[in-house]
Structure 1
Amino acid sequence: MKNDIKQNGQQQLETTQPAANEANADYDPHEHRNVKNPTTNLQTFAHFLKASIGTGVLAMPSAFANAGYVNGLVLTLVIGIIAVHCLHILINSMYELCKRKRVPYLTFSEAMTIGFQEGPPFLKCIVPIATPFVDGFLAFYHFGICCVYVVFVAESIKQIVDEHLTVLDVRIHMCFLLVPLFIIYSIRNLRLLAPFSSAANLLLLVGFGVILYYIFDDLPPISERKAVEDISKLPIFFGTVLFALEAVGVILAIEENMETPKAYLKPLGIMNLGMTIVLSIYVVLGFFGYWKYGDKALGSITLNIPQQEILAQITKILFAITTWISYALQGYVTANIIWNKYLQKRIKDTNKHVLFELLVRAAIVLLTFCCAVAIPDLSLFLSLVGAFCLSILGLIFPALLQICVQYHTGYGPWKIRLTKNLLLVAFGAFGGIIGTYVSIVEIVEAYK
């Protein structure tokens, strides 16, 4: 039966494909986009760096502590290259589907739904749930990032307040953050956030400079550190590095809002240049941070630098400010999905849309606060969110989408692209399952 379906589909495709290809060749989705507040290449580059360099980079020494400096160096580069490749095949596949359907833009979930419709027959059963499934994972992932950011900012403020005023539980500091978080989160478009991202990037450069100063001050012999850690710790490393490197929803959102989207995927385009900078920072901070602090590296390296020194305290404030700005950028995806895709159409009175969107955003801020209060351990939260969500969003879904998009056009000699994508699916599934399991076990152990 399956063979009959596939044969009939291929016969139908043979009669329509040439004409369809000619029509598709004349249609460029990029030229038909109508973006209200498009961002320039420079603004997009600033958003890309800010979206990709968050609290995850500060967790890299802790990640290396779960891998060893040799394993950490090699595996970070490998995971980084795989992550960038998956982003490329995801955006290229979405672009190809836009050409076929002659539409300016498809969201991630819409592209996955159409891909499953046009892909192998056995995947068609997923079509009815594809859109809410992908939207749900995207919204949950960026919601999880926001939870981590609440913890990070609260921890940074706590160290300074503990030193100069009084010792308070980190959860109390989270309460003080509710109003500032809602203020930044009430900014509803990326163009208005661009100046904040640019300022945050400058603060990050200063902060990284200070952290490297502390790291290189009196480095111990590297022989005191492990080149290769026990394999049982690698799942935590995998989840943390994935969390640090991937920001799928924001990366797609900033590409959607570009004035010149063709500049995004060029060989020397925004994504490749941005990820080269990001990966270099991650490797340097992870390698030398682990060299300096070893197994004592905490969930954020800012928690390792001296608490009493004024320079260190200023650095913690800088990172707290940049993370506060990043909260709005990462949370943009969650609010965009929940409000624009599912709730806005239910409110008939358009005059009340702004009010209701702000109420939705306030609810998201409150929920991230509640989750952060429940699990205030930064490193475990990082690993859980990274392993569970990003193995699916950043590895499995892009590979599946390309398999579906190329189903009728072919996978190249010896089906090499099919083999490659199946390996990506297997890698994402294995890493995600093991990483999620280990992270949950660690959280349960930590809070017994």
Structure 2
Amino acid sequence: MPVSTISADVEKYWRPSDATSEAATSSSTTISTSTSESDDEISLPSITRKKGLSYLMTLLNFLKGMIGPGCLSLPVAFKQSGLWCGFSLVFIFGFLNNYCMLQLVHCSQYLSRKKGDAHLDYGNVAYEACENSFKWLRPYKHIVRIIVNTTIIALQVGICSVFYVFVGVHTRELMEYYTSFQASTTIYFIIVAIPMILINFIRTLKGIGYCSAVGNVLMIISLGFIFQYLIRAEHVMSELPWISDFNGILTACGSILYSFEGQAMVLPMENKLKNPKNMIGPFGVLSTGMSLVSVVYAACGFFGYITYGNSVEGSITLNLPNSV
């Protein structure tokens, strides 16, 4: 049989028909279209705001909210965990805090774009997360929102209570040292309550931002006085343990976690930020702020502990002489 005849037979019986070719082409087009549609679902519209806080104002708010009385108690955490163990834990927890807050903001922005709402607080983020989650979890979305809001309130009450006591006690010490005014701690708590209540009447983050700017200046001055004394003082670094026992490390973890106390203000600030993308990223508000906070915390705990050693008090201000 001639070769040409064999080729003709093979082409006759094995060449795909036009219908098959069209089906294959149609199938390819369908896959491409479905992929494109899937991409369209993922590429949600970005969040745009005509008005809002600037990057710098948000960063100032974040720093003021994150650096609080817990910073001054970190030398005790170093004492509980050991010098270099405590130093490492500060940066580890700083990284974990930053990572969790970044994930929270990413989820909030994704759910905001999906819902078409540019503002979601903590409770509504939990609500929308359940709404878009597993079917068995969706009926509990209202309960989850209540739990999250209750937890945020409890967190804020705890942090503000410690801060309130800190301000009242130290205000009394300052007044008794520089003046002849004598009063009980309860009276000072009442006096301090007046400006704190008035500050709560500021309803905008921009107004709070100006207060935070003033607070940051005072905080920098205070930390400057503290650090200049701690750095110039005699150190007992060689006598201190590098790491303590397991119970001490666990106790120190609680103290260090408490010192990072600004998590509850992340979403409110993100909701007021003019460009929400400035909240995330390597040089965003969260990453920049947490880097600065971690450095300040590590320095405060390190120098406080190597200066006073095992005699360090619950707050480094209790060890400092009145002349500082």
Alignment TM-score, normalising by the size of structure 1: 0.61
Task: Determine the structure 1 residue equivalent to 2:317.
Answer: 302
Q: Distance in 2 between matches of 1:273 and 1:148?
A: 26
* Structure 2, gaps ≥5 residues long: 1-32
| Of 38, 57, 61, the match for 1:43 | 57
Task: Determine the structure 2 residue equivalent to 1:104.
Answer: 118
Q: Looking at both structures, which has the greater relative contact order when contacts are Cα pairs under 8 Å and sequence separation is at least 6?
A: 2
Specify the SS of the correspondent of 2:81. Answer: coil
Specify the SS of the correspondent of 2:175. Answer: helix
Q: How does 1:93-172 map to 2 (within 5 A)?
A: 93-121=107-135, 123-124=137-138, 126-163=140-177, 164-165=179-180, 168-172=183-187
Residue 223 (structure 2) pairs with residue 208 (structure 1):
yes
- The offset of 1:87, in angstroms, is 0.7
Task: Determine the structure 2 residue equivalent to 1:84.
Answer: 98
Deviation string, structure 1 residues 241-289 (Cα, Å, up to 9, x no partner): 1121241221221111111221111221222111111111011111111
Contact 2:60 2:216 (8 Å CA) reproduced: yes
- The offset of 1:135, in angstroms, is 0.8
Tell me which protein shows more helix as a share of its residues. Answer: 1
- The offset of 1:237, in angstroms, is 1.6
- The offset of 1:62, in angstroms, is 1.8
Alignment TM-score, normalising by the size of structure 2: 0.82
Contact 1:157 1:173 (8 Å CA) reproduced: yes
**Bigger Cα Rg:** 2
* Count of aligned positions: 291
Task: Determine the structure 2 residue equivalent to 1:281.
Answer: 296
* Structure 1, gaps ≥5 residues long: 1-14, 313-448
Q: Distance in 2 between matches of 1:277 and 1:221?
A: 26
Q: Identity percentage over the alignment?
A: 26
Contact 2:236 2:309 (8 Å CA) reproduced: no
Residue 8 (structure 2) pairs with residue 22 (structure 1):
no
Letter in structure 2 aligned against 1:178:
A
Residue 70 (structure 2) pairs with residue 56 (structure 1):
yes
Q: Distance in 1 between matches of 2:157 and 2:95?
A: 25
* 1:21–1:108 CA distance, 2 compared to 1 (3 A): farther
Task: Determine the structure 2 residue equivalent to 1:379.
Answer: none
Task: Determine the structure 1 residue equivalent to 2:262.
Answer: 247
Task: Determine the structure 1 residue equivalent to 2:14.
Answer: none
Specify the SS of the correspondent of 1:66. Answer: helix
* 1:131–1:18 CA distance, 2 compared to 1 (3 A): farther
- The alignment's C-alpha RMSD in Å is 2.3
| Of 71, 75, 90, the match for 2:85 | 71
Contact 1:79 1:242 (8 Å CA) reproduced: yes
Q: Distance in 2 between matches of 1:101 and 1:17?
A: 22
Q: Distance in 2 between matches of 1:155 and 1:16?
A: 65
